Chain A
Amino acid sequence: MSRTTLRLAALCTVAAGAGLVALAQAFCGDYYLSILDFVGIAAVLAVSLNVTNGFTGLFSLGHPAFMAIGGYVTALLVLPPGRKEMFLPDLPAWLASAEWSFAPALAAGGLAAVLAACLVGLPVLRLKGHYLAVATMGFLIIVQVLIVNLDWLTRGPLGLNGLAPLTDLWWVYAVLVVTLYVAYALKFSSLGRAMLAVREDELAARCLGIPAARARILALAVGAFFAGVSGGLWAHLITAITPGSFSLLMAFTIVAMVVIGGSGSVTGSLLAAVGISLFTEALKPVEESLELYGLAEIVMALGLIVCLVLRPRGLFGSEEPRLLARLFENSAP
């Protein structure tokens, strides 16, 4: 198959996806639509965490912290001034009068998360392995504590509720397509190979002149951007945001998707995110009828253990389908 045909096929796939979104919007009930929204957001989260954890071998548990930052920033920018006056009377004037539309507010949320990633990355990325995991967990807790205590900005533990239900399947689909594009374009580039080299053997990579520290910060920042955008989508899907919305349990869920799919495989984390979140949703009625709440989490934790024992590199390892490699490799004359 020639490159032109391949590109055409890729465009057709994206268009077909859009067609399915249109069909779902027209014919699915609110319940099923919201499930699809959550599945899409989970896919964005897993794919973006894979850029951070999978490409450069960071083990970050801080993804929900970036979601929280993005979620609050988006909500504060979108919330109408009247409601802000009621919730948060002490806001500075420029923020109190801001009433952005959804798209720029989502982008601002993503950029705020990037800023946080750069600030936290500089000291924390000196650490490795378990130490890094614990440090990013600490970062998540710090963000939660800040949100609880910065009353004037976040309304503390009450959170912000009654947000406009702006997130629909179109938004989720668009963000997912952009996330996948960025992840694949990075993976099949010199920059992406440099990131993977840092993961495989940092010392050898540095001896080849690959700036390992910069590669790690970049991977953390790219992951944080999409986590921030997902936070904004999430907040305007469930129309509320509280300090507890983005928890360590959520970090565990996203990490499990990346590990089961295969650290470093974009395709793997996409499929794992879709599979696991659909499975969790499907199990909810069972949980209710048996009154066994938390069953889905237990099954997922067991799945993670089985995967680590039988297939420690995940379902896909670091591999991607050949066709995608040919589509994204940018070295054709």
Chain B
Amino acid sequence: MQNENAPFLEVASLSKRFGGVQAVLDYELSLAPGEIVGLIGPNGAGKTTVFNLLSGVLAPTSGSIRAGGREIAGRGPEAGSAAGIGRTFQNIRLFPALSVLDNVRAACHRRLGRGLWPTLFRLPGARASEAAILARAREMLEIMNLSAAAEQPAGSLPYGDQRRLEIARALAAGPTLLLLDEPAAGLNPGETEGLRQAIRALRDRFGLTVLLVEHDMGLVMRLCERVQVLVHGRLLTEGPPAAVQADQRVVAAYLGSGGADA
């Protein structure tokens, strides 16, 4: 058994190459339980590739990912989920034809669902399981303030609600670490502030660890306790938000290095 402060996630020299393109090189990350960390960098820096590697969507070319003491690199998204990693997607991926409630209920299946025979013969265990799933799903909708829309098809929700539903759905699977890929993209300032409070509340309530990719620097600075900067697939620097913001190399990476080709 691990002790309380041991890192939940440890990533060592993680690399991914697509043909001739080195998308990520020697990426390192250590996340303690309950930390909120931001991953920033210019477009094309490899942030989403890092997320796809961490959640098991992509297999790395080399390197290791240990979550909760288990090696999950290259074992697929099911292994990532089983180890306690949940995620959202940059271009929202809901189950559009299912109702908002059923989107979240589907996410409870791994932990609470039953197999074919209990389902068909309606054994007592199946009834208890369905009741537990319904209760959990309603709780997640309540937390993300979506209860009123429970019966609507997910595809018909306004954009901001879809983003929140994706978080509710990821939470329902019971992750220890939540990867949020640009959660504030397309939100107005009011919605972004609501999102910031919601993420904080989730961390305080469930002890959730959060890693987020975000382009809204205001949100990153106000929410994250630590920030990593990724440029051309390599870690440029890592530290508290204020220090990273003041780092001249970070500014240069975002604005271009100042040469004639910038």
Interface residues of A (CB under 8 A from B): 182, 185-186, 189-194, 196-197, 200-201, 203-211, 218, 222, 264, 313, 317-318, 329-333
Q: Name B96's closest neighbour in chain A (CB-CB).
A: A200
Interface 1/0s, chain B 167-202, versus A by CB < 8 A? 001101100000000000000000000000000000
**Contact pick for B94, options A182, A201, A209, A330, CB 8 Å:** A201
Q: How far is the CB of A184 from chain B (nearest CB, A)?
A: 11
Interface residues of B (CB under 8 A from A): 55-57, 76-78, 80-82, 86-87, 89, 93-98, 102-103, 105-116, 119-120, 122, 126-127, 129-131, 133-134, 169-170, 172-173
**Contact pick for A207, options B77, B103, B120, CB 8 Å:** B77
Are B98 and A200 in contact (CB-based, < 8 A)? yes
Are B86 and A208 in contact (CB-based, < 8 A)? yes
Residues of A within 8 A of B78 (CB): 206, 209-211
28 A-B residue pairs with Cβ-Cβ distance under 8 Å, sorted by A, are A189-B119, A189-B130, A190-B113, A190-B114, A190-B129, A190-B130, A191-B114, A193-B106, A194-B109, A196-B95, A197-B103, A197-B106, A200-B96, A200-B98, A203-B57, A204-B93, A205-B106, A207-B55, A208-B169, A208-B172, A209-B78, A209-B82, A210-B110, A264-B97, A330-B127, A330-B130, A331-B127, A331-B131
Residues of A within 8 A of B87 (CB): 207
Residues of B within 8 A of A330 (CB): 122, 126-127, 130
Q: How far is the CB of B24 from chain A (nearest CB, A)?
A: 19
Are A193 and B105 in contact (CB-based, < 8 A)? yes
**Contact pick for A190, options B80, B81, B96, B133, CB 8 Å:** B133
CA of A211 to CA of B82 in the docked complex: distance in angstroms?
Answer: 11
List the 5 shortest-distance A-B pairs measured between CB atoms, nearest first: A209-B81, A209-B110, A200-B95, A190-B113, A331-B130
Residues of A within 8 A of B122 (CB): 185, 330
Q: Name A193's closest neighbour in chain B (CB-CB).
A: B106
Q: A191-B115, A210-B109 are in contact. Are A186 and B133 (CB under 8 A)?
A: no
Are B89 and A204 in contact (CB-based, < 8 A)? yes
Q: Name A210's closest neighbour in chain B (CB-CB).
A: B109
Q: Name A328's closest neighbour in chain B (CB-CB).
A: B122
Q: How far is the CB of B20 from chain A (nearest CB, A)?
A: 25
Q: Which of A189, A209, A317 has the most CB of B within 10 A?
A: A209
Q: A186-B120, A193-B102 are in contact. Are A208 and B110 (CB under 8 A)?
A: yes
Residues of A within 8 A of B115 (CB): 191
Q: How far is the CB of B167 from chain A (nearest CB, A)?
A: 12
CA of A194 to CA of B95 in the docked complex: distance in angstroms?
Answer: 10
CA of A148 to CA of B185 in the docked complex: distance in angstroms?
Answer: 60
Are A206 and B98 in contact (CB-based, < 8 A)? no
CA of A3 to CA of B95 in the docked complex: distance in angstroms?
Answer: 29
Residues of B within 8 A of A209 (CB): 77-78, 81-82, 109-111, 173
